[in-house]
Structure 1
Amino acid sequence: MAIFTAIATAISTAFFAGSAIATSLIAGGLALATSYAVRALTGQPQQQSGADAFGVQGKLAGGGDVPRSFGLGYHVTAGSLVYANTHGAASYDTPNAFLTQVIALSDLPGERLVGMWVNGAKVTLSEGDADYTNSFPDGGIGYRVPEYIRPHNGEGSPTPHLFVKFYDGTQTVADDFTVATCNSAERPYTSAHVGKGICYAVVHAFNDENLWSGFPTFKFELSGVPLYDPSRDSTVGGSGAHRHGDPSTWGGDGDDYPAVQIYNLLRGFSYGGAWLYGLQNTAAARLPVSNWIAQIDKCRSTVIGASGPEPSYRTGGQINVNAQLANAIEALLTGCQGRISEIGGFYKIHLGAPDSPTFTFSDGDILSTETQVYRPFFSLADSVNGIQATYPDPAQGWNTATAPPYPSPDSELAETLKASDGSRQLMADPAFDFVPYAEQAQRLQKSALDEAQRARTHTLSLPPAFWIVEPGDVGEWTSARNGYDAKQFRVDAMVDRANLDVILSLTEVDPSDYDWDSDADFTPVTGGGTISNPPAPQPIDNFDAEKYTLVDADGIGRRPAILISWGVQPGISAVQFEVRLASDGSSVTRGRSDRPTAGNQIITTSILPATAYEVRGQYVPSSPRDMLWSDWIAVTTDDIRFSLADFDAALTAQVITIRDALQDKIDEALNRISSIASDIAARAPLDKQSVRSQLSARSDAAFAEIARVDLVAVTTEAAYASFSTTASATWGSTTAFVENSATAIATLDGYAAASWGVSVGVDGVITGSIRIDGGASWSAVTIQADKFQIQLTGYNGDAPLKPFTIGTVNGVPAIGINGANMYLDRSIFASAIVAKSITAGEIGAGVITSDSGVIGALAVKSLSIADQAVTVPIVQTLTSNVVGGPGDRIYFFFNLSIDTTGLSGKTIPIYASLVAQWENDNVGFVDSVHQLYINNAVVCGFHAGNGGSGSIALVPLAGSTTITGTGGTVTVPVKALFQSGTATGVLAGATIFAMAAKR
């Protein structure tokens, strides 16, 4: 039968009294050769579990009780944790920027890393591309994982976030990078951590809140340890360079074949002369090489699969050294429909389809005098009519997959098999733990079930000529009694009797049970897929930004702002945003909304009026994954400035009071001018003169005119003068005009006022006007206009500037400064005022407060200014006291008076400078000295050199000193002194400038 895992045996009669007992025993022993499918159905144990389990180790092991292990063939393992630590690494100062794990994968050297899974997803390994800077010790290969090259937390340029180094056990030094970076007193990792003879991986994972939801998990696909393949050894009957005594020659395609793997288990595994696993000291002669090579070739022979030719049998998995050897061999035999026979200490293997017959017999050869047992049918307990196996599927993350049932439940074959078993569904569910190949698992299912339908078994005796027959051999039986014509039977067990007769246990076999037509028999497997890790970066949905204006209860615009909005999505914990200046890209503000379901937010922090910005947004996920920023969106804020409404009510009241007082004076002047004009018009003045002129032109609907009136008049109480000029143009109902007028009055009671104005208008409506009104000690300028512009010729591209803006606050007209600079020296900027409210209740009393939190209830009770920080100059300039002639003369002297009220004890600097012209008319002029005294101390001196008659010397003197304030008036003398020898000259002129800096 198919998929035999029991060991067929040859039994000597030395242990039995007679042939009948032997025949009964060997007939009952047929259960040892039962199909694996039948064993799965009846619940017979197949292999051990738990610590002795084979195949796939999908979880990282740890602790001191982890058994040693190694791999056979293509397999996967999570390994066992040897060391772990966090560190900063490279340019990252964060102590836990990296997590480093050292994971042991095999306790025998020579395996190769052929693939890797991270958090349940297959990744790509770029061999030799290690981006962290250190040299690899011998035996190490560095990998970078392209799937984990990404911007850190979604920002900046893509950088590697996952590095892997693999050591195959031949290394002689420890991993340099781990020793240099991860070693700590609490968790030492030193140069002694070589791991010689052990295959291990070093994994460095860079911490990223959008990438890892916890510690990352890894699975490593390995090639298995290199194995000795006798079919590749030309010295034992094979063909190749393999030599059992030289492990450096081992390895090749045989590493994946179950016959080669079992051969090495029976020879035993050792390292450095120390045995590790398998049989010990097994001589090569106990494994007949001709048998093993033949079975290895059966593994190597190809079968046409869905993807082309492939080896008939391949197996792979992890072996734990605490598992019983018999269980390990049984798990491998399951993957190749194999059996092991042991005859007198010699081990032979038979796998797959039955071998070619090695003997024949007929009814006449059977000893009729001996007991015979024939079983034509299986019992119900041993019957199977369907099979559905499990196997590890690399395409599904090496998770256990279930093969499609054979036969298909709706097929005719399934109905036929069920009918033969009383319409019962008898399913078997074997586990192919060492078969990570989907099509091979289905081939095993088919051959297992097909062979399980062959129920004929015989136990019979044959004469000494059949002494050479062994368990596992296949013979042909021609039997007229049973209707056999060269029918093939496999020897499952035998007993050799003392008289050289043999008792054979035979089971019907047919090579056609192993036929395979991939097109007809293979059902493609659609796996559940693996988790996409990390998932594709998620963009923010429908992100938008636009200008916004904050208004008060009266609907008055008070602050510029930006309104951002986004689409509401599940799995989002917040929305973050950034604002930058459009002009240079400098950052303005950034923040986040922790209510993503709101769908919008108003940004006011650091937002200025009439400014071009750019805004972008990004989702913050509720679980770590990559997010994409939106594109930058251009927004220009409205021109919303501060007004009186932003200030404290007391300050507003003071401003209004001053404004109203000035308005009262203006009204008084206008009323007096109007009253006097009315009096002059109503009564005859003492004297009155007027001049009127008019210039006009007309043509149909067009009319243009300039009219001027000049008037002067005096009465007993007032003098009055005025002029008015009007220029107008009309076309039909459309008119435009300019009017210029002025009035001046002087009254008997000493009052004088003047008014001048110019107005422009269209269609009878004044669209702009300038008016100047003034009295004896005040003046007012009134401008009515939509725009107020000033142009400095030759600057700003001759484009006019708009220094003011006009509006209303609570329905009251208001004016504001419009522009980036408040003063020409740029000492105060409008941009320095944060876009929050500013209130001042008692500025006159020296107190400034703010409820907005920007200034934060700041109260200024007194203001301390450092000495000399603010100065008030006291200047005196004199040109007198100039004298001439030789000798010692004072040619300049005066007293500087300084009021030091409130400056008692304070230092006050005094400065003085002069320039004098000395003309020499004396031949033989040798030298002259000029000195400047301040407060009777010399602060500067000057020597005029040799010069002839008629020479001119310019005498510059400058210096300074300090005095201490007394609290009253201090007198400081300042003088200039001229000294000379025998020479004579004239001081033609001198000018001195003196200044005291008063704090």
Structure 2
Amino acid sequence: MQYILAIVFALLATPAAADPISIVIGAIGAAGSWLLSGTVLANIVLGGLLVAAKYALGTLFQSKPKSQASATETKYGENLVREVGLGTFGTRGHHVYRNAFDKGNHIVQDVYKLSDFRCTELLRVQMDGEWKLLSATDEGDEGRIYGRRVLGVHEGGQVFVRFYSGTLSQTADPALIAYANPTGRWTSAHRGAGICYVVVTTITDVDNLTSVPSLLFEVKGAPLYDPRKDSTVGGSGAHRWNDQSTWEYTSNPAVMMYNLERGIYHGTEKIVGRGVPASQLPLSEWMTAMNICDEAMADGSKRYTAALIASSGDGVTHDTNMTPLREACAASWVEGVIGEYPIVGANQAVVATITDDDIAWDKPFQLSLTRPRSELVNTVAATYISPDKFYETTSLATRVDDTALAQDRERLAAKIDYTAVTDPRVGDRLADIAIRASRYQAHGSYTIHPKYLGVQVGQWISWVSARYGFTKKLQIQSKALGALGSDGTRDVRISWQEVGDGIFDPTAYTTTPPVITPNAEPAYLAAVENFNAVPNIVLGATGDQLPGIRLYWDEITDGTVVGVDIQYWPVSDPTQIFSAYVTRDVTVYQIVNGLTSQTEWQIRTRLRAAPGTRPVAWTAPVNVLTLGIETNLPPIDFAKLDEDINGYLGWASDGLRYVLEELDRIGSIVANQDAANYSDKQQIRREITSTSGSLTAKFTEEIIAATGPGSAIAQRIESLEVAVEDDIATAVSNLTTQINTVDGRVDVVSSNVTALQATVAGKADASAVSLLSATVSEQGDMITSQGNAIIDLQSQVNGVSASATFRAQTVAAPSGWNSRIALQARVGTSDSYKNAGIYFDVTPTNSRIVVSADQFVVTDGANTVQPLIATGGVVYLTNVRLGTLKFDQLESNNGKLIMRGYGSYADIRIWT
């Protein structure tokens, strides 16, 4: 992991995958905002003739993934999402480099990335359970080398922090270059251009500081563009979108949302956000939202402030970042004809007053003065991110609406997590808004006259109703135009939700959360130690050589680790990833599956931690070049070829013995000593016998179904037998399925065996047997699959036998893959046999067809002269027509003419 930053800091961060564009339809929020589920200011979708804000009140207090203002665990590894800190946030950073030097390596340098975009200032660090300030400047000789001293660390302190804001022009840290151990691990190329990071230097064994501390950094985040401060777009000031040096720090959530909508870039490279054109973000609406957030409140706070670590990468959507910011300012979202913008939580002016005369009563009408009970809330327990508690999630004061509680006659509680709120005054304000808004219950829909064509979704209107005897403020949820009438006008159909000024009454509350003492950072194993990958050659089940890689590492003693994940892939095709897993007790693992010889592979590992303990990142991949292997088809090694052919002959001839052994193995299951291993056994047996003098005919059928600890079997055996004295004919059929699980190993077997036998005592016999079997075995992540098919015919008279065998086998196992077929005919006595056969053999590295016979003839069946005959080790060709012939040596049958063309020879020799 020490080398990860060598690449990251040499260049700008690698572009993350473009965030999916999130179109907010219906409820855009989760636990957090009264409006995010449609209690008051709903999410708004504008399009066509229908303008709708689909309410989903049932989701008001439900959680969904979202970003937050803190990262209280240090990140390790690579391929992590990009993060940009906004507002004042707390983070332990992404640890990317460690270096130790000086006597006994007692000076340790650590590099932590804080943000993938520049930040404004490092404020303080948390160490030893308390916030600690930094010296004002790089004081003293050590400070000039290592940076600002962390104050209050034992006597004098021996921890230093140097902060790099993340400008594109920043230079590499000189101390990291000077003290790199070994030299060259950090160079001037490692600038971290555009990346905000810190270098933490710890001098151990001094002043009782014996270990490297775990720090939490409080950071003022990214400077952002505020259109209100840009005089070229209607604001007042020097801000310019195309000049990031004019941007300033802000805690305004609406400004943060605006920058995320437009996207935060390094040049043309988007770091986080959507990248929406400015033309789709109407500035008047955005500036209104920003001004509301900055409004000064009586308790000394601004109305709405926020902090957020915005993310971009796999599994992160734009809404993941926007949701907590919308919650932090009680905002809904509008996507309309004029563009996209938030409506921040504040009282709105009533734009129209509707009476009963304005309603088309002949059109569909709906009115409900109460909500379903499932949508009522009278108690809210909210949380925020507390800087005083080291950016841990902290409880706010529980909000209880006593009047509502009395009306509901039971406590209806909900929990809200404000993950972008770091000011408890803002959190209390939002919780108060949520509980108040939930008590405005009236909702409905009706059609009004065309004079109200100008009302828009999200606006507040007033309904003065003499029919129902009330006056209510309504917020428009949806708007649709009716059909063109005979008078050439269109009615307007709206749906609405009751609202009121009391929702946003800014009352302050005292926050008294329980005192939280954070746990100290445990020392976890981050990766396997002393990992090595050594290429080797593995002998496969069929005798083939296979390329392999032997992995080994130190014993794992961390009790939170349950195993090790392994991934490897060819450098030429990184998408072809092979995976394996071993338990923590394994320290040596052999890779064979998928490997090819003389190929460069990359291998990486990741510790698999126990559920709920911690995430663990993949290690950086290591490169391994596999060894070359001897192929199964050596071009000139005929001794090896003879050896292989003999192996084929034996494998095919062994078919009958294999079938008989399989019959014995399966048949033994019905024996008592085997059946006793099953806790439950059900059996059906039928038998009939007919005898007449020396004649006997017998039929037997046995069906067994048995289960037991880790095993199950179903079997049917049928047997037919007729005999006249010593002359016997039998037919046996055995159909079996079986599963066994022992010590973590699983064997699944299905087989069908048929055996026919005819014997005339002392004179002759004949047999015909067949086998079909399928077997799969699993041991952890090691899986072996095997299929067999055998047909064997045997005839014997007076010591002379003839056989014909077909055998096929497929094997897929971690040790290698193999597919083999044999067709073999054999005749002879115990002293001498003649064989003829065709053998097919395929492995991951080779494929071969072998023909074994005294004579091998190729003919078209019509000509008397065969074009190819192989006999006695010599191949005869007649009537041959060649195109290009490449040869080493040609020699005439009488030895008088020799032509050579190999090595340094190129000559023709003629003897008279």
TM-score by length of 1: 0.46
